[in-house]
């Protein structure tokens, strides 16, 4: 399950659809692990947008965080981090 907290960042419905399509791979890998909960929080401070992803699944909990000028760039980095961490959890390898 994915929870979205957009905070003070204005997201149009098309942006929300785009966000969910970017997270399809992470959702699929999380559902394979079981007990998957992903909470994404957007926060804008000055010119920077911080995207934070809190993940809870049966293999453990972790947090990914990215700060960029554009929310799409920050989201792209978060998706990359999520995919690599979930893949490592699925394979049972510790990732430092």
Which CATH number fits the domain that encloses residue 70?
3.30.160.100
Compute the distance between CA of residue 86 and CA of residue 30 in angstroms, rounded to an integer: 7
Q: pLDDT value at position 34?
A: 86
Q: In the structure, how many helices (H) and strands (E) does the chain have?
A: 3, 4
* Alpha-carbon separation of residue 94 from 3, 11, 75, 81, 85 (angstroms): 26, 35, 24, 14, 9
- Domains in the chain, number: 1
What's the whole-number mean pLDDT along residues 33-39? 91
Q: pLDDT value at position 62?
A: 93
pLDDT at residue 95 greater than cutoff 70: no
Q: pLDDT value at position 12?
A: 92
29 is a domain residue: yes
Q: pLDDT value at position 1?
A: 87
95 is a domain residue: no
Share of the chain above pLDDT 90, in %: 66
**Two structure tokens written together for 10:** 């204005």
Which phi and psi (to 5°) does residue 94 adopt? Answer: -75, 135
Q: pLDDT value at position 39?
A: 95
96 is a domain residue: no
Half-sphere exposure in the Cβ direction for 23 (13 Å, CA): 23
pLDDT at residue 19 greater than cutoff 70: yes
Among residues 92, 9, 59, 88, the alpha carbon closest in space to that of 80 is found at 88
Domain of residue 72: give its range.
2-90
Q: pLDDT value at position 90?
A: 86
6 is a domain residue: yes
21 is a domain residue: yes
* Statement: the pTM of the whole predicted model exceeds 0.95: no
In terms of phi and psi (left: phi > 0; alpha: psi -120 to 50; beta: otherwise), the region of 34 is left
24 is a domain residue: yes
């Amino acid at each position: 399950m994915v929870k979205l907290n957009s905070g003070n960042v204005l997201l149009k419905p098309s942006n929300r659809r785009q966000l969910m399509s970017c997270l399809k791979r992470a959702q699929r890998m999380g559902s394979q692990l079981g007990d998957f909960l992903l909470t994404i929080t957007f926060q804008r401070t000055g010119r920077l947008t911080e995207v934070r992803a809190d993940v809870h699944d049966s293999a453990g909990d972790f947090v990914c965080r990215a700060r960029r000028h554009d929310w799409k760039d920050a989201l792209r980095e978060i998706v990359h981090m999520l995919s690599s961490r979930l893949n490592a959890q699925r394979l049972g390898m510790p990732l430092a």
